[in-house]
Every structure is written in structure tokens, then in C-alpha cells.
Amino acid sequence: MSIIAFGGTNSIITPQISKIYLDNYPNNKISKQNILDLLLSEVWDERDGTILIHTNNINVDITRKSDNVLVSEISTDGYYDIRLSCEDNDNNIGTIFWQNRNVNLNKDIITLYISKNTNPSILINHKKVFKLTDYSNNTISRTDLNNELVYKVIDDMDGIITTDMLNVRIFQKGEESSSGTNGTNWFYPTYTEGSSGLGIILEYINPPLELLYIDEIGEYTIQVKVQDSFGLITIAEFIINVFMT
């Protein structure tokens, strides 16, 4: 009895068909019917013909591999063994997965890995020092900061997320001071490598001042905020120092 035909173009040899996320299902739960819809394109019997893909006709056993427990639905990420069985009108039971009507996979268990979407990851270029003379009109825009600081934003479900100036906020932490010594009100720049910043002293700006661009020597906190299509947010903050040359 040829009962179960797998509904993909590729054979199920690896533990995972593709990325399967709880977030794509109502209330982050994958039901037995969802599993049937995911795995099968056809249930076929040599005598009865096509059998409706429904839990009324097909028994679905879900085993959570982390503790070897049978569950009625999938609500947490991890590995799950899926066993299906179907009975025809002559009480013959089919349990074997087929790739199609001609190719028998010779297996009665499919192992799925279920993922849960996580916050996007912001990968940054480790540029710490900026020189105003490198930019038009000695002005560093938010577009400049995005282009030079953000290497890539990766999300589990969305893949690569493109960022632009709207993802970037600038907060001035300190400005150049002609007087003062390192201490409560003044401080030395955090980064000076390869610049004219050695020996410059900065005065704290408290609270930090939010700006739309940078056009003066100082120390700045740059904030990059990204959000994926499911509303998960990641905020990265890092410090840069800006000098004239």
C-alpha cells in the first residue's frame, strides 16, 4: 500500500526540510494539521486513490526529541520526530514516506527542526575615529555613518535587512574645550588613533545632545536601531571620536 507521498521536489534526507519558524503560525504553535500541510502534497492509495490530507484521515505523532515526549502540538523550538499513519478501506496501514508515487524514501520518521525568530544581528565596521576633512563641507551625515559603520544586518527570517540614515541617531557626548583637566567635567577622547586628537580635551555635554549631523570635534554615541518584519528590535550603541584631521 503506497500511502504517503512527500510534497517537495527534494528528497527528505537531512534532518530539516527548510527553515520552519513558530512565528509563522497562529499563537506560535504548529498544529498536527499544519504539519500535514507542511509535509504532504498527496496521500495516495493504489485502490482508493487520493485520500484527503486531514487529521481525520491521517494519524500524526509528534515526539519532542529533547525529552522523548509525545506532544499534541509544537510550541517550542527544537527537534521533533514526525510519524504519520493512514488506513485504507481494507484496513491496510501506510506509514512510509515517499518522495513521489515512484520513489520510496524507505523511512517512517521525518525529523524537523523548528526555529523561533530572534532579534536581528547588527554587524558593524570597527571604525572609531572620523576626520571632518574627509567629508564634504567638514560635515558627517547620518548616511555617512550608516554607510561606514554598519557592515550588515542579518535576521533569521528576513535575511539581510537594508539600513539607511533613518536607522541612525547621533548623540554628542563631549565637545572640544580650551580649558579644563581630565576629571568630573572634562575627559580625554576615547579613541585618537591616526588623528590629530592626541592631547585634545573634551567637556561633557550632559545630557547628551541629539544631532542630525556632525560638524565639530567631539565624542559621540551612535545608535543604530533595526526592526524585523515581526517587530523584533535590536539597538546597537557605540562611541566614535571626531577630529578635524
pTM: 0.74
Mean local confidence (pLDDT), 214-237: 95
Task: Identify the weakest region by mean pLDDT among 27-36, 41-50, 51-60, 123-132.
Answer: 41-50
- Which has more confidence, 15 or 78? 78
The pLDDT of residue 180 is 62
pLDDT for residue 166 is more than 60: yes
- Which has more confidence, 192 or 9? 192
- For every residue of the chain, DSSP letters joined together read ---EEE-SSS---SS-SS-EEGGGSGGG-B-HHHHHHHHEEEEEETTTEEE--STTTEEEEEEETTTTEEESSB-S-EEEEEEEEEE-TT--EE--EESSSS-EEEES-EEEEEE-----EEEE----EEEGGGSGGG-EEHHHHHHHHEEEEEETTTEEPP--GGGEEEEEEEEE-SS--SSSSEE--S--TTSS-TT--EEEEEEEEEESEE-SSEEEEEEEEEE-TT--EEEEEEEEEEE--
The pLDDT of residue 181 is 63
